[in-house]
């Protein structure tokens, strides 16, 4: 195989085609041992373990609810990456909705608890709120109603925030949630 300046999936795939079964298993084992993210991906992909969402929720919580006493920073992009990683691993609609609602609950709770006010953070919260509503609409009625109730509670927590956060959430809620609920 020739070396390219910027390797791509095509290059990797060419090398993988040369592996036998044992070599491929050894490679996957090395990837598994390389990081917690790889382990979470494989556990989710193969439906292994009791709570497949736990590592993704832990990542969301770390980045959306940083420990302010340890001078940790919040990172919307890292929190959203956890949801994206789950989507790539298995992407079950109810799991995605759960992670999105959890993100909203965590972000709203963090802001209320520590008085965190940041317009970029709030804008990301409102965008995730809409994604959570959109994801919830596609679920069974029981699951959908359960997520709608949790999202309604998030909106109530955000009533004390500035920047029109709860107003935007109420408008979105009215757009996605049927009145007969």
Alpha-carbon distance values, 11 to 18, 21, 110 (Å): 12, 19, 44
Identify whether 1 is part of a domain.
no
pLDDT of residue 163: 75
The answer on 92 and 58 residing in a single domain is yes
CA gap 39, 30 in Å, rounded? 11
| Of the candidates 114, 131, 6, the residue with the CA atom closest to the CA atom of residue 80 | 131
**Which residues span the domain enclosing 23?**
6-49
Instruction: Give the pLDDT score at 180.
Output: 59
Residues 64 and 152 in one domain: yes
- For residues 7 and 5, give the distance between their C-alpha atoms in angstroms, rounded to a whole number: 6
Same domain (yes/no): 75, 27: no
Rounded to 5 degrees, φ, ψ at 139 are -90, 175
- Same-domain status, 71 and 94: yes
Contacts of 83 (CB under 8 A, 6+ apart): 56, 60, 96, 99, 100, 103
Question: Are residues 170 and 107 part of one domain?
Answer: yes
Count of domains observed in the chain: 2
pLDDT over 90, % of the chain: 58
Residue 12 and residue 71: Cα distance in Å, rounded?
40
Do 142 and 57 lie in one domain? The reply is yes
Residue 4 reports pLDDT greater than 70: no
For 29-80, write each residue's pLDDT tens digit.
888 899 888 888 888 888 888 889 999 999 999 999 999 889 998 899 999 9
156 and 123 belong to one structural domain: yes
104 contact partners, CB below 8 Å, separation of at least 6: 125, 128, 129, 132, 151, 154
- Looking at the structure, tell me whether residues 14 and 68 fall in a common domain: no
Query: Which is nearest to 131 in space by CA: 107, 157, 161?
Result: 107
Whether residue 181 is contained in a domain is answered as no
Task: For the chain, give the mean pLDDT.
Answer: 90
Q: Are residues 42 and 56 in the same domain?
A: no
Q: What is the pLDDT of residues 23-34, one digit of tens each?
A: 888 888 888 899
């Amino acid at each position: 195989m020739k070396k390219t300046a910027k390797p791509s999936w095509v290059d990797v795939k060419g090398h993988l085609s040369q592996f036998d079964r044992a070599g491929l298993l050894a490679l996957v084992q090395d990837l598994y041992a390389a990081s917690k993210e790889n382990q979470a991906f494989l556990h989710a992909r193969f439906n292994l373990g009791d709570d497949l969402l736990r590592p993704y929720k832990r990542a969301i919580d770390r980045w959306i609810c940083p420990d302010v006493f340890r001078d940790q920073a919040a990172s919307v992009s890292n929190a959203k990456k956890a949801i994206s990683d789950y989507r790539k691993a298995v992407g079950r609609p109810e799991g995605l909705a759960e992670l999105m609602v959890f993100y909203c609950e965590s972000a709203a709770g963090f802001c209320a608890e520590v008085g965190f006010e940041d317009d970029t953070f709030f804008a990301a919260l409102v965008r995730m709120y809409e994604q959570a509503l959109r994801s919830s609409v596609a679920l069974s009625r029981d699951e959908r109603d359960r997520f709608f109730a949790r999202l309604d509670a998030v909106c109530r927590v955000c009533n004390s925030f500035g920047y029109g956060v709860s107003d935007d959430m109420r408008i979105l809620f009215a757009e996605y949630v049927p009145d007969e609920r």
